Amino acid sequence: MSLPDGVERRAFDGEERLATRGTPVYGEPTDGQWRLWDARRSKLGAMLELGMDTGLSAEDRVLYLGAASGTTVSHVADFAGPTYAVEFATRPVRDLLDAAEDRARLFPLVKDARKPETYAHVVESDLDAVVQDVATSGQARVSTLNKQFLAEDGRLVAAFKARSEDVTADPDEVFDDVLAELREDFEILDTERLEPFHDDHLGVVATPK
């Protein structure tokens, strides 16, 4: 499995696990300057643990949708370049702001990922990656709306939650619908269910058409 530069496997309690070099954010274990990246608390971490080729690399310019309290996006900012963190819910934003204090490359935006026009004047164009983890209906639509920020060879790296679309539907059917919608605007490069780390989630890597 190829990990992005700046992401390594380190020993925590005798087990090799993902880690980035940075200031701890959510009470995670550390090994010197390295902090555990817990795949059970991070969809992107799970994608890396499962061997998905995300295409992410050091110094990438990233738009992160659904930053929440900063658990995952702080790891991204540890190895990536400028990282724009979009989060709409006010409750976790304070923690996100705290995570950004020690990370000069992390830029929190209290915005709605479904309304990219509200942050288009701040976020760069031709970004290397859009990383998405938004727990809302219309997740594929969010990807399409934010495609405008990606370079032609950029990557969408997204985790889709079946129950955010339809609590009662079979997750496989939900994911089929999500992928069908995505294929209108993206070429799908890789997909993987995120069990055992996250139930009823699908990891997707895609590039704009």
Tokens of 173: 């059917």
The annotation status of 83 as a binding-site residue, yes or no, is no
The annotation status of 168 as a binding-site residue, yes or no, is no
The annotation status of 72 as a binding-site residue, yes or no, is yes
The annotation status of 204 as a binding-site residue, yes or no, is no
What lies within 8 Å, CB to CB, of 180 at 6+ separation is none
The annotation status of 134 as a binding-site residue, yes or no, is yes
CA atoms within 13 A of residue 59's CA, in its CB half-sphere: 0
Which ranges in the chain belong to alpha helices (H)?
Answer: 43-49, 71-79, 90-101, 139-146, 162-165, 171-182
What lies within 8 Å, CB to CB, of 45 at 6+ separation is 18, 37, 38, 39, 72, 75, 197
The annotation status of 53 as a binding-site residue, yes or no, is no
The annotation status of 136 as a binding-site residue, yes or no, is yes
The annotation status of 166 as a binding-site residue, yes or no, is no
Residue 50: how many other CB atoms lie within 10 Å:
16
Query: How many residues are recorded in the chain?
Result: 209
The annotation status of 71 as a binding-site residue, yes or no, is yes
CA–CA separation, 47 and 53 (whole Å): 8
Which segments are annotated as binding site for S-adenosyl-L-methionine? 71-72, 87-88, 112-113, 133-136
Which segments are annotated as binding site? 71-72, 87-88, 112-113, 133-136
